[in-house]
């Protein structure tokens, strides 16, 4: 027995109630079940510093759609949620919090600082979880993980030690990206490049023993204090004789050699470049080839150091730049200054310009580790949706540098390396070593550095399932299936998960990476704090409901493409939810107290067979779209079907049958069964996208089932294919739409009834039309609907509506009021008589014709011609109407 819905849909009341029920019933939870096939995905772990933004909302909505779809298909679906410790971001947040309390981080000390940071984690980690629940995500909260929980920390330690023992992790001095504000190293993936306006300073480097000089152009004159050579191309005829000689380094008393190296582009600039091995990654490689000294001129805060700074020591890098340029000019070394726009690396967290510096750090050798990750895409084991992201992924991996994994911060996984206090021997081990293998000393100091955040999140697909232990979960649920993520973290995360998966489990961690774009504002701009154009998903949910937000994020969304967010679209999504609610309410009200049984499908009326057939096709197409990750297309098809085919046509077709249920119970019963079946399947197809409104309606429509989210995904049925019924109804829809358009064009009053004749040689169409005539009459406000094979009895002046294989005729006398039309045309005739007289008067005036501009005269002639044509038409029409009245 069905139950009625409330008059209006209230998401604020229904959504939390349903979510609590789902969690209480453990519908999201998955356990190992060898009788079922698993489907696993892991949530990209949001930072504990963050709150839900539109990017999170989109990413998690797409994941939720997939997991709900797979769950309904019968998979043992597991979606693992969790949060990331976000090392640098969290450290900055806690440090700032301490500053506000007047506490200095260094004075507090490492242990106390970490205590405060764990307090921060406990306070804020739950924030985003609560926000995700409002969105309706169906992840397994019983399995929630944190990148620094005990299991993940054990996995991180195991990976570090394993890679170190295999020779993939080493400590060495290389050029790294250094953030002078956060005072830590960064990986290449954490550096954003942005276009900045700068300059080229052209500087003279005197050639020792001559009066000549080399002209060098640089964008960073302050780094010249660290120059250790000038390089030219070996084949550059201009400089062949200079190779091996020396230049005087301006502003210093040092002499530096001129070397030949193929790194130099002899066509660019002067063809001679300064080499600063400690402050540029390319110069670093040149320096290695020529055994050049490496001179680091900067302190960690980007001030010039005492050792090499001279008079500039202690100055900020930009302050030193100004002072040095002034001195170069005064001493005659500055040739010219040119404006120059170039890409500058900035820290993606604090947006400070990054300084390339040579420092001792821990690195991961990437050459060998990258190979299986490259091969995975080339052999098809790993696929990107859309495919174009293959190239970006491969380009990055094929040009990858060794990964700098050490960070000079306290929050994070501390590097498990210990230094002998006596001899300095490095021991990498699980816990503090008991004695030094080299000298026997028993006192050690642990490395102060922590690991890059991405080192731990690279293990996420398998560390969350119990690795390095050989757990049953890992054996059953791993490898995972699909990773959903934005294109902005392919390098940060996806690549590292893939090579880590191969290195530590021997398997690719997932077979598909489903890439989505960014959510931009209505003007197409990236949402940011600086622009103040961010939109809070929670505010949207509060105003319109989670279903409306989810639908807006997915509608028109193609894989890999950015989307624009408009509030008007959210309103349209809410209106759709209300449309589904109201249609369902109508159906449930008519079902109340009635026994509904499945009829003989062949006895169904054409409209019933048509909607079943359309629904059947929808099931097949939407399933295909979902399997191809075309979620936006799938949703649009469901939307179009429910709004247009089901609500605007089918429900209108059967309303009269509902009203006549007592007189024609069999017809009403067939209609009710069809309404229920189609609505049931439509709700299932819509459920992954709009879980709340569909669940609430389904619980009333099919009360014997426990939950829509646990029901079966609809299946295509051969017996629901009715091409003939589709043919009839689609023709009728075209006819009805054509009649409505004619009524609108001719301003026929809404209350005026008209007669409709339909002529067709197709007997199947005629029979179908006749069976649906009551519905068509109501849809077109017709007094009669007559289907026949010829034009007999149809007036010559009837207006026609032509569709394939049939023509509808609308008698003119039904369309207009003759007396009113004659009155209107008579007034038009009088108006045109005046206009023609005026125009003739002007054109008969010799002064006007001879003195007015030719264009003006021509314009008046064209007006006269138009008026005369209109007059002829009006007179013909008047004569025809008067003749009809006189008959």
Distance of alpha carbon 318 from alpha carbon 221, whole angstroms: 10
Kindly give the residue spans of alpha helices, DSSP state H, lying in 465-545.
Answer: 472-477, 495-505, 537-544
For residue 30, which phi and psi values (nearest 5 degrees)? -130, 135
**What is the largest distance, in Å, between two alpha-carbon atoms of the chain?**
127
Contact criterion met (CB below 8 Å) for 18 and 545: no
**Cβ neighbours of residue 837 under 8 Å, at least 6 residues apart?**
none
How far are the Cα atoms of 321, 427, 444, 634, 664 from residue 440, in angstroms, in the given order? 50, 12, 11, 68, 99
Neighbouring-strand partners of residue 757:
786, 809
Alpha helices in 310-439 (DSSP H): 317-330, 367-378, 389-398
CB 72 within 8 A of CB 687: yes
Q: Which long-range contacts (CB under 8 A, 24 or more apart) does 854-859 make?
A: none
Q: What is the DSSP letter of 237?
A: T
Beta bridge partners of 414: 450
Q: How many CB atoms lie within 10 A of CB 749?
A: 9
What's the CA gap between 303 and 306, in Å, rounded?
10
Contact 775, 819 (CB under 8 A): no
Residue 529 in marked binding region: yes
* 847 Cβ contact partners less than 8 Å away, ≥ 6 residues apart: none
CA-to-CA separations, 651 to 642, 662, 678, in angstroms, rounded: 10, 18, 11
- Give the burial class of 612: count Cβ atoms within 10 A of its Cβ; 0-12 exposed, 13-18 middle, 19 or more buried: buried
DSSP annotation of 401 reads P
The continuous run of DSSP H or E covering 607 comes out as: helix 606-627
| Inter-residue contact 157 to 94 (CB < 8 Å) | no
Instruction: Name the packing angle between helices 389-398 and 367-378 (round to 10°).
Output: 160
- DSSP notation for 548-580: HHHHHHHTTPPTT--EE--HHHHHHHHHHHHHH
The string of DSSP codes covering 277-310 is: TTS-HHHHHHHHHHT------B-TTSBBPHHHHG
Provide the 10 A C-beta neighbour count for residue 100. 7
Tell me the C-alpha distance between 41 and 29, whole Å. Answer: 13
**3-class SS of residue 246:** strand
Q: What is the DSSP string of 99-116?
A: HHTT--HHHH-HHHHHHH
- Cβ contacts of 665-673, under 8 Å, gap ≥ 24: 667/605, 669/594, 669/596, 669/597, 669/599, 670/599, 670/603, 670/604, 670/605, 670/608, 671/605, 671/608, 672/587, 672/590, 672/591, 672/594, 672/596, 673/596, 673/597, 673/598, 673/599
- Residue among 6, 49, 22, 62 nearest 514 (CA): 62
Helix, coil or strand: residue 746: coil
Cα 786 to chain centroid distance, Å, stands at 53
Sheet holding 383-385, edge to edge: 383-385, 512-516, 482-486
Task: Name beta bridge partners: 484.
Answer: 514
**Residues annotated in a binding site:** 529
**Residues annotated in a binding site for ATP:** 529
């Amino acid at each position: 027995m069905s139950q009625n819905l409330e008059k209006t849909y209230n998401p604020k009341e229904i959504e939390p109630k349903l979510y609590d029920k789902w969690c209480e019933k453990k519908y999201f939870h998955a356990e190992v079940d060898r009788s079922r096939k698993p489907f696993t995905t892991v949530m990209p772990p949001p930072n504990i510093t963050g709150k839900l933004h539109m990017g999170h909302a989109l990413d998690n909505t797409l994941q939720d759609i997939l997991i709900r779809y797979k769950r309904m298909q019968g998979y043992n679906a597991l979606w693992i949620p969790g949060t990331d410790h976000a090392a640098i971001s969290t450290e900055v947040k806690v440090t700032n919090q301490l500053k506000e309390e007047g506490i200095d981080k260094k004075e507090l000390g490492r242990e106390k600082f970490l205590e405060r940071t764990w307090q921060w984690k406990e306070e804020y980690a739950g924030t985003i979880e609560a926000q995700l629940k409002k969105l309706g995500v169906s992840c397994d909260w019983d399995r929630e993980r944190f990148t620094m929980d005990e299991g993940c920390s054990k996995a991180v330690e195991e990976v570090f030690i394993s890679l170190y023992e295999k020779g993939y992790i080493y400590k060495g001095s290389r050029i790294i990206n250094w953030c002078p504000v956060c005072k830590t190293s960064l990986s290449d993936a954490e550096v954003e490049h942005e276009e900045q306006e700068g300059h080229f300073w052209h500087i003279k480097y005197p050639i020792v023993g001559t009066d000549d000089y080399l002209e060098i152009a640089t964008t960073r004159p302050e780094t010249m204090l660290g120059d250790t050579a000038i390089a030219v191309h070996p084949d550059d005829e201009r400089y062949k004789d200079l190779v091996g000689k020396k230049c005087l380094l301006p502003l210093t008393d040092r002499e530096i050699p001129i070397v030949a190296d193929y790194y130099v582009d002899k066509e660019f600039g002067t063809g001679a470049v300064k080499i600063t091995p400690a402050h540029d990654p390319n110069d670093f490689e040149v320096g290695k080839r020529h055994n050049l000294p490496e001179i680091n001129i900067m302190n960690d805060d980007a001030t010039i150091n005492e050792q090499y700074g001279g008079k500039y020591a202690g100055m900020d890098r930009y302050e030193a730049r100004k002072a040095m340029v002034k001195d170069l000019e005064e001493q005659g070394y500055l040739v010219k200054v040119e404006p120059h726009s170039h890409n500058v690396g900035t820290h993606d967290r604090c947006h400070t310009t990054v300084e390339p510096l040579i420092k001792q750090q821990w690195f991961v050798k990437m050459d060998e580790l990258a190979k299986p990750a490259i091969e995975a895409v080339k052999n098809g084991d790993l696929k990107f949706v859309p495919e174009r992201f293959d190239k970006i992924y491969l380009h990055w991996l094929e040009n990858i540098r060794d990964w700098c994994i050490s960070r000079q911060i306290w929050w994070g996984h501390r590097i498990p390396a210990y230094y002998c206090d006596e001899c300095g021997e490095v021991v990498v081990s699980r816990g503090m070593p008991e004695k030094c293998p080299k000298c026997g000393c028993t006192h050690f100091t642990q490395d102060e550095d922590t690991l890059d955040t991405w080192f731990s999140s690279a293990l996420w697909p398998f560390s969350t399932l119990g690795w390095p232990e050989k757990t049953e979960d890992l054996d059953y649920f791993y490898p995972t299936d699909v990773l959903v993520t934005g294109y902005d973290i392919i390098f940060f995360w996806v690549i590292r998960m893939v090579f880590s998966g191969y290195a530590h489990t021997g398997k690719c961690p997932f077979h598909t990476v489903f890439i989505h774009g960014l959510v931009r504002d209505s003007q197409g701009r990236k949402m940011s704090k600086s622009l103040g154009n961010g939109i809070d998903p929670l505010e949207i949910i509060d105003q319109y409901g989670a279903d409306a937000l989810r639908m807006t994020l997915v509608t028109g969304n193609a894989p890999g493409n950015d989307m624009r967010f408009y509030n008007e679209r959210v309103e349209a999504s809410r209106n759709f939810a209300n449309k589904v609610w109201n249609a369902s309410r109508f159906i449930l009200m008519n079902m109340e107290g009635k026994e509904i049984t499945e009829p003989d499908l062949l006895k169904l009326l054409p409209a019933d067979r048509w909607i079943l057939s359309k629904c059947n096709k929808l099931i097949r197409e939407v399933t295909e779209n979902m399997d191809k990750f075309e979620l936006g297309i799938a949703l649009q098809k469901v939307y179009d079907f429910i709004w247009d085919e089901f609500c605007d046509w089918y429900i209108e077709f059967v309303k009269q049958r509902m009203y006549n249920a007592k007189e024609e119970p069999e017809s009403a019963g067939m209609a009710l069964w069809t309404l229920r079946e189609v609505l049931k399947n439509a709700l299932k197809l819509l459920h992954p996208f709009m879980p709340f409104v569909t669940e609430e309606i389904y619980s009333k429509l099919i009360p014997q089932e426990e939950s829509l989210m646990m029901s079966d995904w609809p299946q295509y049925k051969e017996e629901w294919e009715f091409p003939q019924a589709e043919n009839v109804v689609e023709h009728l829809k075209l006819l009805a739409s054509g009649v409505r358009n004619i009524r609108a064009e001719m301003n026929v009053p809404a209350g005026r009834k008209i007669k409709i004749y339909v002529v067709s040689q197709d007997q199947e169409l005629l029979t179908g039309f006749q069976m649906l005539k009551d519905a068509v009459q109501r849809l077109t406000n017709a007094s009669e609907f007559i289907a026949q094979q010829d034009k007999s009895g149809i007036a010559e002046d009837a207006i026609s509506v032509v569709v394939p294989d049939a023509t509808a005729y609308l008698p003119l006398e039904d369309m207009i009021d003759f007396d009113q039309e004659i009155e209107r045309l008579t007034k038009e005739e009088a108006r045109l008589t005046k206009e023609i007289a005026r125009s003739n008067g002007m054109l008969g005036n010799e002064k006007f014709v001879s003195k007015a501009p030719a264009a003006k005269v021509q314009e008046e002639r064209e007006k006269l011609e138009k008026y005369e044509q209109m007059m002829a038409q009006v007179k013909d029409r008047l004569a025809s109407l008067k003749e009809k009245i006189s008959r």
